[in-house]
Structure 1
């Protein structure tokens, strides 16, 4: 008896005949199933007071996050090192780098403006029932002195041992620039670095395939631990964060694609969706970085440029965590503590969001960025304690917005510089995770002379 099988590449597979293989469940569907199962198990653990189920969900989610973080330090180092040295292969590298930074700043300003506007319209801190006594000092905080002095490490080991991503970025950038200065003498080191980076990305892909299981644990524990009663106190603030991120994600970004890059926004989301959905679950820009770079290349951005722009963005480009969220958080905390903010304070929020976004460093959560904003405005840091209660719920949409922006800017810059492969962009599709994995044939994209 013969079995008719359908190719994984078929866009519209026919219903399998009797005896054929069951069709694969798309990765996005696995994520959705994980979300639904997580909510159900979390509700069950909370309302039936099943302690072992709550602990199990916590362990499953925690193991997934730890596996992602395990590769963060070496991944950031080698990704930044290789990306800087890859710029030597790109025409007008300095112009591309400056344009990338410029569009990082522009999109961050737009995002923070949206966050401030939503906060002023909705007043998220009023009517919550929360008081200053409900807050507590955060375990980690940030200030401009810490930010500026913390960039340069005191030794090589500590940044990797304590996962100080900003210091790792500094070390990698320093090593990359030194390698460029050495020229051919640094070729063995660069070859080794590229091999190590590929190894790390391959290992991380195995972890990424566990995202649906991690989703069950992360969402389930959030529901079991926090419950809807606590979340209801933050209803307006939570809605503001989601609305602000969705406005940027599905309003600002498509507008920029259509008017500035002059490409079809729908194609962007079709191509970038695997990275966006993984970011929503993992809550880690760095953990999602291999997928983000892959989808950016599949959207027609030259590999040599994408390998610079995406790692750079994963550690500095945070429209969700470093723009929308801190703006809303500052307004929320000020209203809880009955402190009036003036025009100069809102300008300071915008400044901190644009300049200090590297403080988030692509890790899960935005506590350091929030404390940096509050301390700059002179607001009580106890306000961060009020926000920690629902941070995981908010961090999902924030990270999804971060990652979408990290893929967006390279597309915009590549299009403006006439190096975007439009045929490839227009044929982009929401491929399953395994179809964009590093095991695929590597494509080498040549970069034409910039017009």
Structure 2
């Protein structure tokens, strides 16, 4: 009796990127709580579990940031070359910036409304003695100066004294990299054959960088565990008590923008919010754990092109620009709630013109955050513009990392939703891809 030959077993399906991040978050929470329960060592130093979590988390983000500067430069230069294939490139850029401003306006109005409704400054259980001016303050002059590249790579060096020794580190100004990339891209277009060879070469470099990124992202499970675990160990949730009303107002505002305003905008353009979140969630998760729009940028761009149906020629331009200028969490909701909180805490009544200034600063100055971790620059920029006490910023620094996770998640969600909306309005969106099931791995390399 003959039968059909046995079929080989199907290979086990590996968890997707979003699931890896989710598993990492769960593992990090467990390990972080365990490390807090163990407490510091006999010499007061963090225990071995806490040190391991800090090392793994910081190393993952650092490696991502190593790849981001050349990746941004190559992606924008290459995208400018691809934009030549689109007849409405200038209109796309204008529509993108317009919708950046519209959603920022909606976000800042949400923040102001919640600040006035919940009155977090009136109900704060914190002493004014704990207020202290921050070490760095953002001003409009500094913001304007930051637009001018200091060098080709946008690098700045800083030194700090700690434990009797001086350490020097390098940071990159992503906004300056964007400015340089746009300039080089358009110069190449006008440089004939030499410019074409440059654009071809940049395209090849971009392929190699994305391959490196693909390898790195395979470590997302471990990086997420380290980042969340370290946050639990370092900050816990104890510090939330004294200004819980402020934290509630910020997170409520973030939730309204993420789960009400963005879905309404998508629905208004005939798109399913559930489909959007099902596909965009991996990038939003990564933004939450890394607290950096720049670290999440490569995944956000891959999601936007491969799963949400935005043409690569447009997305490769819009998403990196959004990562430096589209900050609904850090630059709209947070400074609005914080400014109202500080005014209420010090018993200062804001005039209608000052509320208008908050709106203008949030809509026009969000690039000041430049995609880096934290929103202190934007907050102090708002406070100096309004003439509010800078010491008030010191009241909020203790819980800033906890708030920053939610802020960055909203930032990145907005950086993906705007290219989708603009592409839909301009008839460029691959709607079949947008509405299809999210299957397979993201092709990051």
The TM-score with structure 2 as length reference comes to 0.88
Partner of 1:308: 317
Equivalent-residue separation in structure 1 for 2:59 and 2:31 (angstroms): 18
After TM superposition, the structure 1 = structure 2 runs for residues 128-277 of structure 1, keeping only pairs within 5 Å, are: 128-156=124-152, 159=155, 161-259=170-268, 261-277=269-285
What is the alpha-carbon root mean square deviation over aligned residues?
2.2
Partner of 1:31: 21
Counterpart check, 1:109 vs 2:102: no
Q: Please list the CA deviations of residues 235-286 of structure 1 after superposition, one character each: whole Å capped at 9, or x if unmatched.
A: 2222222211111111111111111x21222211122122222212222212
Does the Cα contact within 8 Å between 2:328 and 2:411 map onto a contact in 1? yes
How many residues matched?
421
Counterpart check, 1:438 vs 2:432: no
Does the Cα contact within 8 Å between 1:86 and 1:308 map onto a contact in 2? no
Does the Cα contact within 8 Å between 2:138 and 2:377 map onto a contact in 1? yes
Equivalent-residue separation in structure 1 for 2:405 and 2:104 (angstroms): 18
Q: 1:337 to 1:3 in 2, by over 3 A?
A: farther
Shift of 1:89: 1.6
Counterpart check, 1:5 vs 2:9: yes
The TM-score with structure 1 as length reference comes to 0.87
SS at match of 1:436: coil
Q: 1:209 to 1:365 in 2, by over 3 A?
A: farther
Equivalent-residue separation in structure 1 for 2:321 and 2:281 (angstroms): 20
Does the Cα contact within 8 Å between 1:128 and 1:233 map onto a contact in 2? yes
Equivalent-residue separation in structure 2 for 1:329 and 1:308 (angstroms): 32
Equivalent-residue separation in structure 2 for 1:317 and 1:72 (angstroms): 17
Shift of 1:324: 0.9
SS at match of 1:199: helix
Q: Which runs of 5+ in 1 are unaligned?
A: 8-20, 440-451
Partner of 2:406: 397
Q: 1:157 to 1:325 in 2, by over 3 A?
A: same
Shift of 1:313: 1.0
Partner of 1:49: 39
Shift of 1:102: 0.8
Shift of 1:227: 2.7
Shift of 1:158: 5.3
Shift of 1:62: 1.6
Q: 1:418 to 1:336 in 2, by over 3 A?
A: same
Equivalent-residue separation in structure 1 for 2:217 and 2:419 (angstroms): 23
Shift of 1:3: 7.8
Shift of 1:139: 3.2
Counterpart check, 1:58 vs 2:54: yes
Partner of 1:386: 395
Does the Cα contact within 8 Å between 2:304 and 2:420 map onto a contact in 1? yes
Counterpart check, 1:77 vs 2:73: yes
Q: Please list the CA deviations of residues 107-165 of structure 1 after superposition, one character each: whole Å capped at 9, or x if unmatched.
A: 11011111111111111223332233313333332100111122113433553643122
Between 187-196 and 161-170, report the one with greater CA deviation: 161-170
